[in-house]
Amino acid sequence: MSLSSIKLIAFDLDGTLLDSVPDLAVAADQTVQSLGYSSVSEMQVRDYVGNGADVLIARSLSQSLTINPDLSDEIKATARERFDEFYAQTGHKLSHLYPQVKETLAQLHSAGFRLALVTNKPSKFVPDVLVQHGIEHLFTDVIGGDTFPIKKPDPIALNWLLDKHQLTAKEMLMVGDSKNDILAAKNAGCYSFGLTYGYNHGEPISASNPDYVADCIDQLLDVLRVSA
């Protein structure tokens, strides 16, 4: 199968292009411990990520995917402020691109596809991460988790891209590792490409019924018929 109509490819960041959990886990653990809560492990944080920093921290405080309703708005706000400070201090030194990400993005860019980034990660952390890994120049648009008032799975960011680039939904492909990415694509009416690695709360990405499922991002090149 191939997609001949695609002109724009929107990528998720954490869990799709970048394994950021090692740094997120350090910051989350420092945050909860600084507030007198129990420590969280990297394994736990791998399940907690994907819905933005506010949810990640609330889950870490709750020690569960289900946020404790007894957590006050004040403690959640304080925790988020501390998390941002601790996360910035990591310098993202433990984060790394997944295999074949840089090469695949470069080939798609060279082949004439427009590439965009649509992440639930707070916007202020995104530019440094992209520069650190040498991929910042490949994206026409970078949309963070606070660029719009609603995050994925809402399609607002994808619809904005369609409007900006004057494209139909069938000319865009969303690439991601979680059901939020696949649902955002479905809600926007565009095609979806799900990766089996990354962070999806322990659920297989196939359960979200993306149009394509792949174990490595370079399989995009075959789907889009991009030759080396």
CA 198 to each of CA 2, 167, 179: distance values in angstroms, whole numbers, following the listed order: 24, 29, 11
- C-alpha to C-alpha distance for 118 and 136, rounded to whole angstroms: 13
- Residue with the two structure tokens 């799975």: 153
Helix spans in the chain (H): 21-34, 42-48, 53-62, 73-90, 101-110, 126-132, 156-165, 179-188, 219-223
Q: Is 154 annotated as a binding residue?
A: no
Q: Which residues contact 85 (CB under 8 A, 6 or more apart)?
A: none
Does residue 12 carry a catalytic annotation? yes
- C-alpha to C-alpha distance for 67 and 84, rounded to whole angstroms: 19
Q: Is 12 annotated as a binding residue?
A: yes
CA 184 to each of CA 48, 51, 151, 165, 188: distance values in angstroms, whole numbers, following the listed order: 19, 12, 9, 18, 6
What three-state secondary structure class fits 194? strand
Which of the residues 12, 19, 23, 54 is marked catalytic? 12
Q: Is 177 annotated as a binding residue?
A: yes
Q: Are 219 and 104 in contact (CB under 8 A)?
A: no
Catalytically active residues, by annotation: 12
Instruction: Cite the annotated binding site for Mg(2+) by residue number.
Output: 12, 14, 177
Instruction: Cite the annotated binding site by residue number.
Output: 12, 14, 177
